[in-house]
Structure formats: structure tokens, C-alpha cells
Amino acid sequence: MNYLLQTPEQQQTMLQKIGVPSIETLLEQIPAELRLDRPLELPPALGELELDGELRQAAARTVGASSRVCFLGGGAYEHFIPAAVDELSGRGEFYTAYTPYQAEASQGTLQAFYEFQTLICQLTGMEVANASLYEGGTAVTEAAFMAMRVTGRTGPVIIPGGVHPQYQTVCRTYLESQDLSVVQTSLREGVTDLAALRSAITPATSCVVIQQPNALGMVEDIDAIREVVHASGALLVVVCDPISLGILKRPGDQGADIVVAEGQSLGIPLQFGGPYLGLLACRNDYVRKMPGRLIGKTQDRNGKSCYVLNLQTREQHIRRDKATSNICTNQGLMALRATIYLSLLGPHGLAELAELCCRRAHYLAQELARRTDVKVLSPKGFFKEFVIRHPQGGEFLKQKARAAGFDIGPTLEEFGDLPGVDPALRKEGVLVAVTECRTPEDLDGLVNALSN
Amino acid sequence: MNNTIATRLIFEQSQPGRRSVSWPAAPLADVSLQDMLPASSLAASPPPLPEVGEPDVVRHFVNLSTQNMSVDSHFYPLGSCTMKYNPKRHERWAKLPGIIDVHPSQRDEDLQGLLGILYELQEMLAEIAGLPCVSLQPAAGAQGELTALLVAKAYFRSRGEERTAVLFPANAHGTNPASAAAAGLTCRQLAGGPDGLLDLEELQRAVNAQTAVFMITNPSTLGLFEPRIAEAARIVHAAGGLVYIDGANMNAIMGITRPGDFGGDMMHYNVHKTFTGPHGAGGPGAGPIAVRDFLGPFLPGPVVVREEQNGEIVYRRHTPASSIGRVRTFFGNVGILLRGYFYLRTLGARGVRDAAEQAVLNANYLKSSLADVLPARYGRYCLHEFVASAQQILQQRGLSAMDIAKRLLDHGFHAPTVYFPLVVPEALMIEPTETESLATLDAFVDALRKIILEEDPAVVKSAPQTTPVCRPDEVRAARQPMMCWTCPPAESIVK
């Protein structure tokens, strides 16, 4: 089965029309000595019914969030996805279309992405958003490069320990390959140590990257950090949790220069890490320094409003090695999912969702502190994710929860490098994330699991 | 039939008080949010998102979808993009519990089914490439290129060599030089020969002790196989450099010849092209890379390894010894990678080769059917695509490649890629793929002939007439950028 439509007779008709005896002649450009002289060694072809059976078996050997209770966090979250998100994004007219280069044949996509850009601006309080990047870690990296272009500074990018450890790793992979560097500063009592940050900034610092809420779930004092960062002329890059913006101040309203995020929470399934959605928004002044595709509104020949890919001279297919990024294929369909999701939620749906996550998380933290010998890192100051600890170790807690059918984590040891987190906490701590999907029974169940 | 009410911007449909979701009651009702979070961090009001009902949202996006052409609805012969049929079964399988609901922080022991599939995919991609080590991490072709260049850099550094130059032909995809720049390498473009193929003497003159990587798309963007690719690879290897194959055009050669067998040291796949992605209106893609064994230790982590433990097969994630690090936060664009896996399991070895051969036959059928009106200058036969030139039509009838492309939309066909590669004037890059019928191909040829021979060329120049809009003003869009609904025209940022 390979979805071919030509019958052998039709193939002959075509060969005759071309004037060749066989397909072999058409392949004459490929030297015989370079040909594969055997069939590929691939598993045998299977029809839909047989493969369906095999895949269901393989899937059954994988334990997903729907067969256990998922309190896992660390940058990917099990949020509820309204059915309309799947139904609408599952329309073939969207998902089997290409990048909207041919505007007249792509107004549906173009308008949806214009709405996406607007929704991300409304969400973050910024003035312009692009039409998506790959995911959170690469979005942080693109923001760092963009800050260098804006400021003309190429000194170390400063990333306090509260930024997701893997975002830091990804950023280092790319920056260090260009002989640029990342300087980490430490946390103090779970949040960015302002004094350490202040002393790390130099006149060559292009930007400081702050995550809000941070990787331990704690809310940072953005106003204080902004003052320190802006005093040096560096840009403030804020990595946000889109759901938290239902109740937390928008980074744009707090003076962020560039906002990035992992958009997975906005209607995108967990699917083992991808495809997810990188968000990037900034102030209008920086628009020509932005990476990635942008959709703009314009008029057609008859004066009718319409949408096109805009400012393409920033991009690789025109500017080649001088482009603002090498990104071409982005995460379009995931951006469409986020567009539908945010449209369905609206301001009040998002605010109530954020509050629900926050209140359920705080309820769980209180009950754990009250009814178990687990310590909660901080009784307040977190949004939907928090650290619990136990003298016998994070792994001990994780296994204990696991035995009762609950997944918590990652442990701080698994999570990665967290500068400023003392070795004892690192060994003893584990993250617990609470979304709207965790019912009161789930919350009490986890408390019970950890109490005996 | 256009529902212009429903396609108004979603923001213009907002009615304060209207909503689509409701949530359960929250606990701790007697505690103020200010007792949970610092008061200074709390917003006075939620973000100003639109307020619409679910019926509004559904009608809006359904109507928007009808303003697209897509593979499901139209022939989409967009050169270089491999717009083949995207099987519906893939969509069902990608949503199976145990696939769609897996958190990236779960333990390997809970993921044996999924890790087994990903391991098998690595093996299949290695076999098709003829290159043994595979990383599934890159999110798209461009990220695959960049990742492979970082692998090459790390390899050279491990040998105490500082090689800094990347070479590529003039007809390369723009991502090649952009990725080289992103890897901190310098770019040198090769003009190539008059036959649209590599000029080996030029290559020989260009390579030296600085040469890190020669990047080449083979088959090329002209739809031609480089017959002297093995010799080109020998030249690069003799200078100590590595050969990178941009695998965008693998659809033409899978099962027939392998990058590893014709001299490539590294390559990327575009799963969203060759292995039915789908394209998702611009993404997501997946750009896994395959490399030679001596480059394997530098691949980004994690890769999936297979081990025997007490007579049982176990799969686990593993970071290679000298890994360049992570290129993304979590494990690859798994949802897209899996669709590639489903496709390869459905086709098998024979099916893969048949697909490549049919893609070549379909392209040559179009090329030969159009030879008298839209000649393709390079190559007697093409592989999966060809680049026709409308230069003659432009001179004789005043119709440009763009005019022809736009008029095709009126005939119910998506346009080919136009004005790329730059080496062909008035380029129309046509890639039919293997999943189109003879009747569709014939109808496409008829349409093109009709357009070119249109009695009144003004009809073509005023195309398209049947689409929702006609020839948007891109210059205006760039001069007065409006990229956000609330944004007024921002004169200040006009260059």
C-alpha cells in the first residue's frame, strides 16, 4: 500500500508519451555504481488493519497520563483540551496545506495566524508576535540572539538559575558554538538573587532571561529585576507560562522587552515532548530584528483587506546567511491550536482556569504540609507547581507516589543544573504540578499516598 | 457561498459576557489570591482576549479553512515541498493513548512501546540513508542542518582542527547558508556549471584546509541527480572536509540510492515532506539527521538505544559520549516522527521504492507534456521535480511566471513554486508527487496550455478572479506593518 493511483497500463501510457521504454531510463542520471543493489531492509509492509493492531499493542506497552494520575511538570503539563480544538485543527484544509506563500490560496491560514499573533500580544502585553518558533528552549535561544542584534552587545547572556535547566542547556548549545557564552546566576530562597544578578551584569550584557513563574514554580519580582536590568541598558527577556497570565501581570505591562514561552499549555497534547509551540513577542521597535515568519495585514488589488507573509527580507529564503534566523518550517498547526484554544477560553475562561490551577495547587501544598511528613519548599508564592522535599530524597517521594498510581516529578536531580539550589534540597526535592485536570479526589489521593 | 459574517476577525465578533468554557469550582474559596501570590504580581484584570461562544469559534474556523487550498482538496504541485497525500490512518494512530498522552518526564520503563517504535524509526532512517547513526531531535529540516553543522564542528574540534568554511551551490535552499551562519561558520557559494550541475574544478579550487562542510541538495533543487557526486565527495574528503546532504528531495531516490553510498557523511530528512508529515500550514515538521559512525558520539541527546537485560529487550534514552548537548527542551517532534514511522511501516521496502519511481514518472510526464510551452532548460530527464521557465512566454505574450501561477488558482490548481531557484529565469518549479492520478496530471497540463495560449493575456494578468482576494499588496504590508489587530500603522518603523 503506497497510495499510488496509476495502473500498470497508465504507467505504460505515460512512458510512451515521454518516449522511454521504462522508468529505468528516467533514472539514467544516477550512476549504476551508486545504486543500491538490493531492496532496503525495512519491516514488511502492513495494511491498515494489521498495523492498527500492532500499534495498539505498542501503545498499550506505554503508560500515558490517561492511565495514571499525572502531577508531572517541569515545562510540559497535562491541561484539558476542549474538543473543538481537535475538531477544527483536524480539518484537512488546515493541516494538509503548506506555508502560506501563495496568499490567494491561503487566506484561511494567514488570517488564523494574524489572529494568533494578536492573541499572543493580548496575552503577553506586547506589540508584535511572530507566527511561532519550535518550542520553549529554542525560543529562549532565539530571544538571546535577537537581543544581541538589538543592543549590538555580544557579552555573556545572563540566565539566573530560575530558568528551566533544559532551556539553559539548549541556549548554551547554540551560543557556545558561536563562541558566545551564558552566565548563570544563582537563586536565593527559590527566586532570583538580585545581588548576584546585579554583579553579573556588565556593559556588554545584551539581555537577562527571567522565567515567570520560575522553574521551581515560584513567582519572581519582575519589577525589581527590570530595574536592575534596564539600568545597564540590557534587554529583559521574560519566559512566561501562558496559563498563568490569566491572573499574573502581563510581562509587557511590567516592562519586558522580549517575551517568550512554551505554548504547549494552550491546547497542545503532551505527545512525549513535541510538537510543541515556541512563542516570541516584542516591542514594535524590534520587529525587523525578529526571527521567524510574520503575517501582515494589507489590501489586495481591489482594495479588499487581506493578509500576507510580511517582512520576508528578514528570512532565510531571501536573506540567506544574513537572515535573522535559519528557521523555515515552524509550528503552524500548533499555533492554530493555540488560536482556537485562546478564542474558546476568552479573558474570563483563562482567568478562572489560572485561578483554579493555583488554588488546587495551594490546596495540595497545604494538605501535604498538614497531613504528611513531606515539607513544602515555600507555603506561598507559587502558581501551579511547587517543590516538596523529604530527608529520604526526591526519588523516595516519587517512588512512593508512583506505587499508588501517581506520577510526580521531575526530581530536582533529574531536572538539571539549578545554580543556587543547595545540595541537600537538590537531593531531597521533587516538583509537583497541578492543573485543572487534577480533581479533588486526585489531590487527596496523592496526600494519602504520601502520608503513610 | 462565502460567509463573510463568520470570517470577520474573531476580535470583531467579541461580545462582552459571551463564553465557551466553564470550570469546576476551586478550593480554598475563603482564601484570597493575595494570600497565595505576591500582590504586586497579580493583574488587575485578565488579558483582553475576545469573548466568543463555541458556535462562533466553530463557524469562524470552518469558514476560514475553506479559504485554503490543501492537499486534501487540491493538486498542490509546489516544487521542493513534496505535497503528497497525508494518510488519514496516521491521524488516528497519532492520537492513541500511550502515544498522545505521554509526558516527556516519564520513566523509560513506562515507555517501552513508544521507545521501541522510536528505536525502530532510527533504524529505518539509518537504512534509507546508508548512514548508521540517527538523531530524531531536530524539529525541522533547518534545525537538522544546524544540528549537523554543530556535530561537524565538534568533530573537528575533537581532532584539534579549526575548520570554519561551508561551501554550497548557488541553487541551495536558503536554509543552508542561514544554518551555516547560525553555526558560526562562513559561507562560500559555488556558481556551478552551465548544465546546472556541480563544476568539479570550481569545487577543487574552493576546498582547502578551512573547509568544514560541503552542503549539497541531491537530487538538486533543479530536480537533477548530480552524476559526479561521488567524485565531489572525494574532493571534499581529500581536503579533510565533510559532505552534508540536504535530504529535502529524498522522495526521488529512497530505495534507489543512498546518501551514505554516494559520499554523504551527514544528512537530514524532512519527515513532513518525504514521509507524509503533514505540513500543517507551515509546520510542525521533523528534521531527523543521520550521520556516519565516527560522528555518532557527537549527536545531540537523547537517542534511543536497545539493550538486552536478563534476556529481555529494553529500550532507553541515552546521551552520546561527546554530545554537542541538547538542541531542544524535550524529545523531538514525536507526533510528526510517528507519522513517518506509520508511513514506512505501511509501505515497506518495495512500497518506498515504488513511490519514488512513480514520483519520477509523474514529474517526467509533466515535463515532457509541457516541453513545447514551458521548457525545462536543465536535464534530459528529471527526477521528482523540474524547473520550467516562462521566460519565452514573458517575451512573447507578456505573461510572467507569477501571472501563470495566479491563473492556475482559477483553474483549481495550487501554483508551483515560483522564482526559485534563482538560476532559472521566470522559474516554475513543479513537483507533482507520486499520489496524483493521470487524469489530474492531464488536467493540469490542459490548464497550463490554456493559460499560456489565452486569447486575451489581460485575463491572465488579472488573475486570480475566483479566490477570496487578488494579488495582495506586499509592498504596502512591509511599508506600513500591521501585524496585530490593535496595532495602528507604525510609521516609526518604516525603514
Instruction: Inspect the interface and report whether the beta carbons of B328 and A138 lie closer than 8 Å.
Output: yes
Q: What is the DSSP letter of A389?
A: E
Q: Among B274, B469, B471, B495, pick the best mutation site for testing chain A contact (most A Cβ within 10 A).
A: B469
Residue B391, exposed/middle/buried by CB under 10 A (0-12, 13-18, 19+)? Answer: middle
For residue A22, what is the nearest residue in chain B, using CA coordinates?
B361
Whole-number Å distance between alpha carbons of B370 and B388: 9
Report CA torsion sign: B230, B235, B237, B243: negative
**How many angstroms away from the CA of B110 is the closest CA of chain A?**
5
- The CA-to-CA distance between both ends of chain B, in Å, stands at 41
| A242, A266 contact by CB (below 8 A) | yes
B114 in Cβ contact with B136 (< 8 Å): no
User: Distance between CA atoms of A166 and B330, rounded to whole angstroms?
Assistant: 8
pLDDT for the residue numbered B13: 95
Distance in Å, alpha carbon of B174 to nearest chain A alpha carbon = 4
Q: Which of residues 3-42 of B touch A (CB under 8 A)?
A: 7, 9-11, 18-24, 26-28, 31, 33, 35-38, 40-42
Instruction: Write phi, then psi, for B290 (nearest 5 degrees).
Output: -125, 140
* Partner-chain contact B142 A316, CB within 8 Å: yes
Question: What is the predicted pLDDT for the residue at A1?
Answer: 65
What cell numbers appear for B295 in the block?
Answer: 560522528
H or E stretch at A165: helix A165-177
Q: What's the Cα-to-Cα distance from A235 to each of A144, A153, A278, B423, rounded to whole Å? A: 9, 10, 19, 41
* Chain A nearest-CA residue for B86: A96
Q: Which fold has domain B91-347?
A: Aspartate Aminotransferase; domain 2 (3.40.640)
Q: List the CATH code of the domain at A69-81+346-451.
A: 3.90.1150.10
Q: How far is A133 from chain B (nearest CA, A)?
A: 10
Q: Cell match 539509518: residue?
A: B126
Q: Left, alpha or beta for B310 (phi > 0: left; psi -120 to 50: alpha)?
A: left
Note whether A409 contacts B105, CB cutoff 8 Å: yes
Spatial distance between the Cα atoms of B107 and A295, rounded to a whole number of angstroms? 40
**Neighboring chain B residues of A52 at a CB cutoff of 8 Å:** 89, 93
Contact in structure between B433 and B84 (CB atoms under 8 Å): yes
In this structure, are strands A294-299 and A69-72 parallel, antiparallel, or unpaired?
A: unpaired
CB contact under 8 A, B467 and A105: yes
Which of A74, A317, A349 comes nearest B21 by C-beta? A349
Residue A69, beta-bridge partner list = A406
Give, for all 495 residues of chain B, the pLDDT tens digit. 889 999 999 999 999 999 999 999 999 999 999 999 999 999 999 999 999 999 999 999 999 999 999 999 999 999 999 999 999 999 999 999 999 999 999 999 999 999 999 999 999 999 999 999 999 999 999 999 999 999 999 999 999 999 999 999 998 999 999 999 999 999 999 999 998 999 999 999 999 999 999 999 999 999 999 999 999 999 999 999 999 999 999 999 999 999 999 999 999 999 999 999 999 999 999 999 999 999 999 999 999 999 999 999 999 999 999 999 999 999 999 999 999 999 999 999 999 999 999 999 999 999 999 999 999 989 899 999 999 999 999 999 999 999 999 999 999 999 999 999 988 999 999 999 999 999 999 999 999 999 999 999 999 999 999 999 999 999 999 999 999 997 444 454 444
The domain limits of chain B are: 10-65, 91-347, 353-475
Q: Within chain A, what is the greatest distance between any pair of CA atoms?
A: 84
- Which of B27, B85, B347 shows the shortest C-beta gap to A45? B347
Q: Is the peptide bond before A213 cis (omega within 30 degrees of 0)?
A: yes
Residue A97 CB: number of other CB atoms within 10 A?
A: 32
* Residue in B438, B447, B440, B439 with CA at minimum distance from that of residue B411: B447
The ipTM estimated for the assembled molecules is 0.97
Taking the Cβ of residue B82 and every Cβ of chain A, the question of whether any pair is shorter than 8 Å is answered with: no
Q: How many CB pairs under 8 A join A and B?
A: 713
Yes or no, beta carbons of A43 and B348 under 8 Å apart: yes
Separation in Å, CA B458 to CA B170, B397, B418, B452: 34, 10, 20, 12
- Determine the pLDDT at residue B494: 42
| Cβ atoms of residues B237 and B294 within 8 Å | no
Beta bridge partners of A310: A294
* Residues near B320 by beta carbon (within 8 Å), at least 6 away in sequence: B296, B297, B298, B299, B301, B303
Helices (H), A283-393: 316-319, 332-371
- Give the CA dihedral A319, A324, A329, A332, nearest 10 degrees: -130
* Domain coordinates in residue numbering, chain A: 69-81+346-451, 83-341
State the Cα–Cα distance between residues B3 and B5, nearest whole angstrom.
5
User: Over chain B, what HEC string results?
Assistant: CCCCCCCCCHHHHCCCCCCCCCCCCCCCCCCCHHHCCCHHHECCCCCCCCCCCHHHHHHHHHHHHCCECCCCCCECCECCCCCCCCCHHHHHHHCCCCCCCCCCCCCHHHCHHHHHHHHHHHHHHHHHHCCCEEECCCCCHHHHHHHHHHHHHHHHHHCCCCCCEEEEECCCCCHHHHHHHHCCCEEEEECCCCCCCCCHHHHHHHCCCCEEEEEEECCCCCCCCCCCHHHHHHHHHHCCCEEEEEHHHHHHCCCCECCCCCCCCEEECCHHHHCCCCCCCCCCCCCCEEECHHHHHHCCCCEEEEEEECCEEEEEEECCCCCCCCCCCCCCCHHHHHHHHHHHHHHHHHHHHHHHHHHHHHHHHHHHHCCCCCCECCCCCCCCCEEEECHHHHHHHCCCHHHHHHHHHHCCECCCEECCCCCCCCEEEECCCCCCCHHHHHHHHHHHHHHHCCCCHHHHHCCCCCCCCCCCCHHHHHHCCCCCCCCCCCHHHCC
Q: What is the CATH number of domain B353-475?
A: 3.90.1150.10
Cβ distance A310 to B492 less than 8 Å, yes or no, reads no
Burial class (CB in 10 A: 0-12, 13-18, 19+), A7: exposed
The Cα B97–Cα B155 span in angstroms is: 40
Q: What is the mean pLDDT of chain A?
A: 96
Amino acid making up residue A400: K
CA separation, residue A324 to residues A282, A327, B247 (Å):
15, 9, 23
- Tell me how far apart the alpha carbons of residues B243 and B410 are, in angstroms, rounded to a whole number: 43
What is the distance in angstroms between the CA of the first residue and the CA of the last residue of chain A?
56
Q: pLDDT by residue (tens digit) across A297-347?
A: 999 999 999 999 999 988 888 888 989 999 999 999 999 999 999 999 999
To test the contact with chain B by mutation, choose from A128, A268, A272 the residue with the greatest count of B C-beta atoms within 10 A, namely A272
CA distance B147 to chain A (A): 9
CB A211 within 8 A of CB A220: yes
A30/B253 touch (CB, cutoff 8 Å), yes or no: yes
8 A C-beta contact, residue B145 and residue B244: yes
* Nearest by CB: A273 against B142, B282, B331: B331
**Which of helix, strand or coil describes residue A187?**
strand
Quote the pLDDT of residue B486: 78
What is the rounded distance in angstroms from the CA atom of residue B186 to the CA atom of residue B162? 12
Q: Which of A96, A192, A226 to mutate to test the interface with B (most CBs of B within 10 A)?
A: A96
Name the CATH code of domain A83-341 (choices 2.60.40.10, 3.10.270.10, 3.40.50.920, 3.40.640.10).
3.40.640.10
Q: Do B103 and A135 touch (CB under 8 A)?
A: no
The per-residue DSSP string of A202-263 comes to -TT--EEEEEES-TTSBPP-HHHHHHHHHHTT-EEEEEE-GGGGGTBPPGGGGT-SEEEEE-
Distance from CA of B232 to the nearest CA of A (A): 13
A326 to B437: CB separation less than 8 angstroms, yes or no = no
Strands B165-169 and B186-190: parallel
**CA proximity to A138, closest of B325, B276, B135:** B325
* Closest in A177, A245, A359 to B26, CB measured: A359
Is B255:B128 a contact under the CB 8 Å cutoff?
Answer: yes
pLDDT of residue A177: 87
CB atoms within 10 A of CB B186: 14
- Written as nine digits, the cell of B302 is 537523547
Distance from CA of A350 to the nearest CA of B (A): 8
- Give the minimum alpha-carbon distance from A452 to chain B in angstroms, rounded to a whole number: 24
Q: Which residue in A7, A69, A321, A385 has the most chain B C-beta atoms within 10 A of its own C-beta, making it the best mutation to test that interface?
A: A321
Name the residue among A170, A197, A166, A195 with its Cα closest to residue A184.
A197
Out of A2, A118, A332, closest to residue B355 by CB:
A2
Q: Which pLDDT does position A318 carry in this prediction? A: 86
